[in-house]
């Protein structure tokens, strides 16, 4: 089945530690996105990538980093510079075509700082 | 002012009720409008999308767009307990994989 897979589902981070969230898709989508979801604030864009080896900052990129070495994969690293990383992180992908308006989402990773 | 505003709820209705969920937006450049449903601890899934003013029906769901008022709605008829979820409106300026702008979501509970 085609889809988008995020792992792990739950992640705990100690203060000062970097952690990496995985996102893999087998939908052959060109564009991939990382969102952060906090209660009452909806989805906020962290980074997005429309092509391999290229990515752009979203609205809240500070304290995060990404890479796009393969079309299928778009990992997100939450660095120690991110002061309030506890949140629900969602990865999404889309095609880039005139007929498409659907973003496919993974099931999310809940990150908690301990 | 946020680009997209949505009442976060929570909204509780009895089973069988008609539900109305709404979003307003400030940027007239938005052309495509979507509603996503998100169950607890899951990723959002697309319910409906539309790009023109007027109504679009899909089963028990109707999406309504009024571009002149910058207002979109989702109506759910004969609501079921399985409709209990958070509903997010989303919009984009064009459909070339551009950034989606999401509303904060409305949490809906349909009580049996």
Query: Do B49 and A96 make contact, defined as CB atoms within 8 angstroms?
Result: no
pLDDT of residue B26: 92
Of the pLDDT bands very low, low, confident and very high (cuts 50, 70, 90), residue B105 is very high
Query: Do A110 and B41 make contact, defined as CB atoms within 8 angstroms?
Result: yes
Query: Do B88 and A42 make contact, defined as CB atoms within 8 angstroms?
Result: yes
The alpha carbon of residue B112 is apart from the nearest alpha carbon of chain A, in Å, by 26
Q: Is B58 on the interface with A (CB under 8 A)?
A: no
pLDDT digits (tens, 9 = 90+) for B19-68: 999 999 998 888 889 999 999 989 999 999 888 888 999 999 999 999 99
Count the alpha carbons within 13 Å of A78 in the hemisphere toward its beta carbon.
26
Q: Quote the CA–CA distance of A15 and A20 in Å, as a whole number.
A: 14
pLDDT of residue A94: 87
Q: Quote the CA–CA distance of A8 and B82 in Å, as a whole number.
A: 27
Low-confidence ranges of chain A (pLDDT < 50): none
Residue B7 or B1, more confident: B7
DSSP string, B72-96: EEEEESS--GGG-EEEEEEEES-SS
């Amino acid at each position: 089945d085609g889809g988008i897979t995020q792992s792990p589902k739950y992640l705990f981070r100690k203060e000062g530690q970097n952690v990496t969230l995985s996102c893999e898709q087998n939908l052959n989508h060109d564009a991939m996105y990382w969102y952060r979801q906090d209660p009452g604030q909806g989805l906020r864009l962290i980074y997005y990538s429309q092509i391999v080896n290229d990515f752009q900052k979203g609205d809240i990129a500070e304290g995060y980093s990404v890479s796009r070495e393969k079309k299928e994969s778009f990992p997100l690293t939450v660095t120690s510079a991110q002061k309030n990383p506890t949140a629900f992180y969602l990865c999404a992908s889309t095609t880039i075509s005139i007929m498409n308006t659907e973003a496919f989402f993974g099931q999310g990773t809940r990150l908690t700082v301990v | 002012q946020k680009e997209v505003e949505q009442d976060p709820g929570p909204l509780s209705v009895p089973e069988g009720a008609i539900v109305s969920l709404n979003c307003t937006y400030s940027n007239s450049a938005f052309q495509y409008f979507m509603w996503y449903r998100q169950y607890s601890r899951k990723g959002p899934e697309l319910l409906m999308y539309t790009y023109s003013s007027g109504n679009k029906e899909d089963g028990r769901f109707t999406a309504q767009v009024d571009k002149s008022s910058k207002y979109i709605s989702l109506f759910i008829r004969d609501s079921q307990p399985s409709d209990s979820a958070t509903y997010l409106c989303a919009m984009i300026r064009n459909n070339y994989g551009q950034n989606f702008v999401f509303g904060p979501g409305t949490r809906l509970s349909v009580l049996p």
